[in-house]
Amino acid sequence: MTLTGLLIRIAITAIILTGLNFALKKGKEEWADIKNWVVTYLQNFCGALFIFSGYVKAIDPKGTAYKMEQYFGEFQTHFFDFLGPVLSFFNEYALAFSLFMIILEIVLGVMMILGYTRKLTAWLFFLIVGFFTLLTGFTYLTGYVPEGTNFFSFGSWGDYDKNNMKVTDCGCFGDFIKLEPKVSFFKDVALLFPAVLFILFWKKKHVLFNSKIRTGLILASTLLVTLFCFRNTFWGLPMQDFRPFKSGTDVRAVKLQEEEAMGSAEVSYLIREKSSGKTQVLSMNDYLKKFTEPNFKENYETVDQIREEVKTTKISEFSVTDLDGNDLAQQLLDYEGYHFMTVAYKLKFEESREKAIRKDTVFTIDTVAIAGIPDSFNIVKNIADIQNKEYVAMKYDWDESYKKYYTDKLNPLFAAAEKDKIISYAITKPYSAAQIDEFRHEVQAAYPFYTADDILLKTIVRSNPGVLLWKDGKIIQKWHISKLPSYEEIKAEYIK
């Protein structure tokens, strides 16, 4: 679905709700004022939009949290380093912030439609729309900021290039509809108009039912939305999967198709005439003909190479390496038969530094002549002393509850699968080999660990850890760690 299609559906829904409002208030004098019709319609439109926008995010609250982490991380790294402590705080509690905003968005949508606490609702709507306008607007404007340039160095800004943006998807509708920050920014600017209107004319906003019914509906919707969010966050995987790595996807085939499409994409060139400054875009063939003309380099300059944009998914970025840096992605996708993959985008531990002692050997080096061979000698190294040297060592305090996922659930599952000659492995973010080996020892994992980009891992499954069953490059099924069945149950239902 496109944004235009969605807005048309929301507009139709608002018309229906406005008609119901009229039916419930039929004959009342307030409908004689056209302002009431306009405010009521916008009230229903914005309420329905917030409910739907919140719902598609409530299906996958972790996805919104990951997007928030990306926003906060990029802002701190590239633009707002002085806000480091604040952004680090929000980054640490991104999931809680995500849940709060999703619940607030949906409940606020219900409040808008019911006309609950009209003045408070108007201000809340204005503040939320204003916040997201600043967020998406800032992200959109980073398209004018070249790589390595500070955002506030306005004189260094160049032409708009969406590749300059560090966050390329606003996350406004989760993974249901992908919106570029530019589009989302203009959407939020448009929403500021009804937001201001609600503040100015809050008394003209409609009110449905009596106070007790309205309060009861708000409390009930808050409880239901909270439970729904918790179910999709802590108690299982999202009820609907809008991401490319959903169950049933032939990842091997899709990756091949996308790579072939990118390889066959047309290439054109942007050239500029030096005398007039005029630019033109030439196809590859026309550019090669033009390039062979006499004095081409004296009269023209090549500004940019333009490759036809090909729509791809995160599957194109599927890359896995072993601890020695060898690429295993194609090998895993080409594997014939069933195999289990554990995805752990983050190993949970507390890091600390402690002083330690190690032996440091001091050597002396002598030269010894070789008897009977003139001008020849051997170098002899002798131990002169062994000293105790103090150094700072990294210590990892592994989370006990996280370790139990492996010792109590994953290890027994994979040990049973191994008896049927079904291989298993785990993939985590690029920690050092020493860290991963230490964790494997802690949880007594007999299966290998590989590494991949953490954003890719978060896209594959919304659980840390999460488990996937593959066959011949295709995802058969995925499980949240809290809902992981036994091997016998998996074998009976999925392994044929």
What is the tens place of the pLDDT at every residue in 225-240?
999 999 999 999 998 8
**Beta pairing class for 377-398 and 349-369:** antiparallel
Q: Which residues pair with 471 in a beta bridge?
A: 338, 474
Please, are residues 151 and 235 in contact by the beta-carbon 8 Å criterion? Answer: no
pLDDT at 437: 93
The pTM score is 0.79
> What is the rounded CA–CA span in Å between residue 314 and residue 180?
16
Domains of the chain, start order: 3-233 (no CATH), 266-307 (no CATH), 316-348+399-494 (3.40.30.10), 355-392 (no CATH)
Per-residue pLDDT reduced to its tens digit, 289-334: 877 888 887 788 888 877 777 788 899 999 999 999 999 999 999 9
CA separation, residue 395 to residues 297, 354, 434, 446 (Å): 60, 7, 11, 23
CA separation, residue 392 to residues 356, 374, 389, 432, 437 (Å): 6, 49, 10, 17, 20
pLDDT at 478: 96
Residue 30 has pLDDT above 60, yes or no: no
3-state secondary structure of 342: strand
Per-residue pLDDT reduced to its tens digit, 97-139: 899 999 999 999 999 999 999 999 999 999 999 988 988 888 8
The residue that leads in pLDDT, 404 or 272, is 404
pLDDT at 457: 95
Q: State the average pLDDT over residues 13-23.
A: 87
CA separation, residue 104 to residues 44, 53, 75, 127 (Å): 17, 11, 24, 12
Positive or negative torsion for Cα 200, 206, 210, 214: negative
pLDDT at 390: 64
pLDDT at 446: 94
Per-residue pLDDT reduced to its tens digit, 341-371: 999 999 998 877 666 666 666 667 766 666 6
Gyration radius (Cα) of the chain, Å = 30
Would you state the structure tokens that stand for residue 447, as one six-digit string? 């299966």
> Percent of the chain at pLDDT above 70?
86
**Beta pairing class for 300-307 and 267-273:** antiparallel
Would you state the structure tokens that stand for residue 268, as one six-digit string? 């054109």
Please, are residues 113 and 45 in contact by the beta-carbon 8 Å criterion? Answer: no
Phi-psi region of 107 (alpha: psi -120 to 50; beta: other; left: phi over 0): alpha
In our burial notation (b when 16+ CB lie closer than 10 A, e otherwise), range 140-173 reads: bbbbbbeeebebeeeeebeeeeeebbbbebbbbb
pLDDT at 78: 58
> What is the rounded CA–CA span in Å between residue 281 and residue 284?
10
CA 428 to chain centre: 16
Residue 449, H or E segment = strand 449-451
